[in-house]
Structure 1
Amino acid sequence: MSVLSSNSVFTSLQQEGPLAVTDDPFIAGRFSTATRQWVKVLQQDANNITKYRALRSQLFEFLGVDSLEQIQSLITDTSLHQKRSERALCLLGNMFGIDGTLKEIKNRVNEYARSADAVVNSIKGKILAPYASHIEATNEIEVTNNPVELLLIMFNGDYHKKARFEARRKLILMTLAGSIDQRERETNIENKFSDFLSFLNGYVWSPNLKIGELDSIYLYSTHRSEDYCCTNVALLTPEEANLVTQGTGEKLTLIKRRSFSVGKKNIPIYVSIRKKPPEAKVLKLLRKNEKNPAVAVDDELGLMAVLDSVSDVKAFQQHLTRSASKADSLMVLEDISDTLVEHTKYRGRATGSSDKTAMMKFFARLGGMRVEFIIHTNQTWLNYMYQKDVAHDEYEVKRMFDTGVIELLFPMNIYHLQHRNTRDEMVRFFRKQIES
């Protein structure tokens, strides 16, 4: 379900419908013509009425008021802001299960605000980089982290429509960041990430290598002109790579590899290990149209590996199972998908994914953790980086636009972006970067 649909859980952020931010804050009289027209629109969807009542109750309770008129009074009475802000922080601390003093709760809420800003900045820095000036946030909103102040800005006619929308957006993203932080504390994700790294260093990687020791190698690849699919790949040392002159449809890609031992054989492996940052998890909640991280974010810990051949991939999978056993844990593989074998199509469920994608993907449950593994051969990884319709940069653009997240965060009537045209232009932009 799209985040732009009428049943979206992010209705309050949609700029189409009765809860949209308008040119002026909603301060019309209770029985005015404008209010009656607004109520008629609201009544077209019974679900919106329920959502509006819930939001209004939360808003009034959070600000400690009983009516919209009192909000206008609170805006002008700055002497009350500190007291209401402290009360609001206590409420948020209890809601998100934050233990500590008022200062500690404030620091945690400030982290949520930084995560909210990071969501917007991550899009501005990559997916919409050529349009950075179009979507730049209002300075006053970027420097405001106080939830009460952000709420009051939403109803303050001295602020432009764009600023009031961004205040609302920041509050919603802060709430998602708070839910993610609560989930991370409940699941003890920081310690699990440390335990996972310790497991890899202690039982998986070759004991002949020091921790963090890597060998540099270059992948010298040729690609089809029509779709930039990798047709051949050779391994070169850095010295050999220096002698190469790249032609049309050729790529020289540096990777730094570890190794693991199977018997007396050392098998090289490129590995990227990651714990999703908060802003990435927030974006995933938006794409999945979910507010519950326990439901939507199932890949908090992840490892991507690249090996020379399919036989090396199978050896690594078996080595993982044996390594887990040495660490006194059974390892169970879940949700296995293997499209490394030729002629097997990828059945990706994610919006924007291509059935041309080749990889092995599974979740491994071991040592109290559930880790996502994505495993490639050199050739499939190069396709994952460069092939038309498969490349990850293209996929990121498509999934952010096609799920409606870009339009939700940067609505056309505020940022004046033609989203369909912008999507296609950004796909072409990344294709040009890849093939240049």
Structure 2
Amino acid sequence: MSVLSSNSVFTSLQQSGPFAVPDSVRYAGRFSAQTREWVKKLQEDPNNVAKYRALCSQIFEFLEVDNIEQIQLLIGNQELRQQRSERALHLVGNMFGINGNFNEIKSRVDEYARTADAVIHSLSGKILLPYASHIEATNEIEVTNNPVELLLIMFNDAYHKKARFEARRKLILMTLAGSIDQRERETDIEHKFSSFLAFLNGYVWSPNLKIGDLDPVYLYSTHSNEDYRCTGVTVLNPLQANLAEQGQDKYEKLTMIKRRSFNAGSKKTPIYVSIRKKPPEAKVLKLLRKNEKNPAVAVDDELGLMGVLDSVSDVKAFQKHLTRSASKANSLMVLEDISDTLIESTQYRGRAVGSSDKTSMMKFFARLGGMRVEFIIHTNQTWLNYMYQQDVAHNEYEVKRMFDTGVIELLFPMDIFHLDHIKTRNEMVKFFRKQIESYTL
């Protein structure tokens, strides 16, 4: 379900429909023609009526008012706003299960606000980099972390429509950040991430190597002039790479990776590894893409490892080595949701919006030691396709999934940010293709 659909859980952020931020928030009166027209539009979908009633109830309770007129009085009374803010922060703290005094709760809520800002910064810094000036947030909204102040800005006609929308957007993103933080505390994700790293260093990687000992090599690859897929790859040392660089053309790449190694029997096998714990802003974006407010449902890949090996046989050896390593660590390891398209005769069936059937990888979840870790395993060739091939490259995929799920339009509606979303999507795909296919890495 798209985040822009009428049944979206993010209806209150949509600029198409009864919850849209208006040009002005001057209250016309209950029986005015403007209000009657708005009510008529609201009643077109009975679900919206229920959402509106619930939303009004939450806002009035949060601000400790009975009607919209009292909200206007609150806007002009700084001392009263301060009192309501302290009460509201305690309510937020109890809702998200934050234990501590007022300052600790405030600090945690400020963290949610920083995550909300980071969501926008992450998009303007990559997916929408050439359009950063279009989507730059209003200064007054960026420096406001108090949820009561943000809520009152939504009802304050002294603020421009864009600022009022950004205040609403920040509040919603802060709520998602709070849900994610609560989930992380419940699942003890920080401890699990440390335990996962300890497992890898203690049982998986070669014991004769120091922690963090990495061997830099270069993947010298050739690419098709049709779709830039990798047609061949050779592993070079730095000296060989310097020689190869001199004759490099448009359809050749030199990609540096730093590899660890593991011992499978008597064989020392190199592996490039990227280990990650999703940052909060990435989890917020995933909730938006999935049209879901519950992190327990939508975010199933909090811990992850991506590995790149020389061949399919090395991939199989690594998978077997993982199982044996878990056993040495006194834990059974069970592989779940296995998908293997490293062999050319099999085809990837991506369920995610924007994914390509041309993608090749092995993907599975490993349950061990009280953790559930996502593993994505590549050969050198499939990883280079994941980086560079048309329709497959990760940067292209990121653009497509953010636009095609409706997230960009939800966060940056056309009537406020003046972005032609279809045109911008296509231009950003071309932008990343040009970066990928440029001569210099």
TM-score bracket relative to the smaller structure = over 0.9
Secondary structure at 1:388 match in 2 = coil
Match for 1:115: what amino acid? T
- Corresponding residue for 1:408? 410
1:256 aligns with 2:258: yes
- After alignment, is 196-205 or 78-87 more displaced? 78-87
Q: Which position in structure 1 is the counterpart of 2:269?
A: 267
Where 1:351 maps in the other structure, the secondary structure is coil
Aligned-partner residue type, residue 312 of structure 1: D
Instruction: Report the counterpart of residue 383 of structure 1 in structure 2.
Output: 385
Residue 193 of structure 1 pairs with residue 207 of structure 2: no
1:344 and 1:79 mapped to 2: Cα distance? 66
C-alpha deviations, 1:117-153, integer Å up to 9, x for none? 0000000000000000000000000000000000000
Matching residue of 1:48: 48
Give the aligned partner of residue 322 of structure 2: 320
Give the structure 2 partner of residue 219 of structure 1.
219
- 1:136 maps to what in 2? 136
Q: Is the 8 A contact 2:309 2:315 kept in 1?
A: yes
Contact kept? 2:361, 2:378, Cα under 8 Å: yes
Q: Match for residue 110 of structure 2?
A: 110
User: How many angstroms apart in 1 are the aligned matches of 2:274 and 2:27?
Assistant: 53
CA contact (8 A) 2:26 2:157 kept: no
Indicate the SS of the match to 2:206.
coil
- The match for 2:99 is 99
TM alignment of 1:23-42, pairs within 5 A: 23-25=23-25, 27-42=27-42
Q: Residues 175-226 of structure 1: CA distance to partner in whole angstroms, max 9, x if unpaired?
A: 0000000000000000000000000000000001000000000000000001
Mapped to 1, the partners of 2:120 and 2:191 lie a distance apart of 28
Equivalences for residues 358-369 of structure 1 within 5 A = 358-369=360-371
The 2-side partners of 1:124 and 1:366 are apart by 37
1:245-301 Cα shifts (integer Å, max 9, x gaps): 211200000000000001111000000000000000000000000000000000000
The one-letter code matched in structure 2 to 1:142 is: E
The one-letter code of the counterpart of 1:325 is S
How far did residue 99 of structure 1 move? 0.1
Identity of aligned residues (%): 80
The residue that corresponds to 1:425 in the other structure is 427
2-structure distance, mates of 1:269, 1:292: 35
Distance 1:32 1:329 in 2: 68
| d(CA) in 1 for partners of 2:261, 2:93 | 46
Deviations 1:308-344 (A, max 9, x none): 0000000000000000000000000000000001121
CA deviation map 1:28-72 (0-9, x unaligned): 201111110000000000000000000000000000000000000
1:219-368 paired onto structure 2 within 5 Å? 219-244=219-244, 245=246, 246-368=248-370
In structure 1, the residue matched to 2:119 is: 119
- Please give the TM-score of this superposition, normalised by the length of structure 1: 1.00
Secondary structure at 1:335's aligned position in 2? Answer: strand
- State the one-letter code of the partner of 1:109: V
Q: Which runs of 5+ in 2 are unaligned?
A: none
2:181 counterpart of 1:181: yes
SS in 2 for 1:242: helix
CA shift for structure 1 position 26: 5.2
Q: Secondary structure of the residue that 2:372 maps to in structure 1?
A: strand
2:431 and 2:27 map into 1 onto residues whose CA distance is 44
| Structure 2 counterpart of 1:283, one-letter code | L
Contact 2:221 2:252 (C-alpha < 8 Å) held by counterparts: yes
Letter of the structure 2 residue corresponding to residue 58 of structure 1: Q
Q: Which runs of 5+ in 1 are unaligned?
A: none
What is the alpha-carbon distance in structure 1 between the residues aligned to residue 344 and residue 23 of structure 2?
A: 56
- 1:358-416 alpha-carbon deviations (Å, 9 max, x no partner): 00000000000000000000000000000000000000000000000000000000001
The amino acid across from 1:251 in the alignment is K
- Cα distance in 2 for residues equivalent to 1:185 and 1:264: 42
Aligned-partner Cα distance in 1 for 2:16–2:265? 62
One-letter code aligned to 1:213? D
1:396 matched residue in structure 2: 398
Deviation at 1:243, TM superposition (A): 1.2
Are 2:93 and 2:105, in contact at CA under 8 Å, matched by a contact in 1?
yes
Amino acid paired to 2:343 = V
Query: Does the residue aligned with 1:206 lie in a helix, a strand or coil?
Result: coil
Instruction: Supply the distance in 2 between the matched residues of 1:66 and 1:386 (Cα, whole angstroms).
Output: 57
Amino acid in structure 1 at the alignment position of 2:5: S
**CA apart distance, 1:78:** 1.1
Cα distance in 2, alignment partners of residues 120 and 408 from structure 1: 12
RMSD over aligned CA atoms reads: 0.5
Structure 1 residue 162: Cα displacement: 0.1
Structure-2 separation of matches of 1:248 and 1:87:
62
Aligned to 2:11: 11
TM-score by length of 2: 0.99
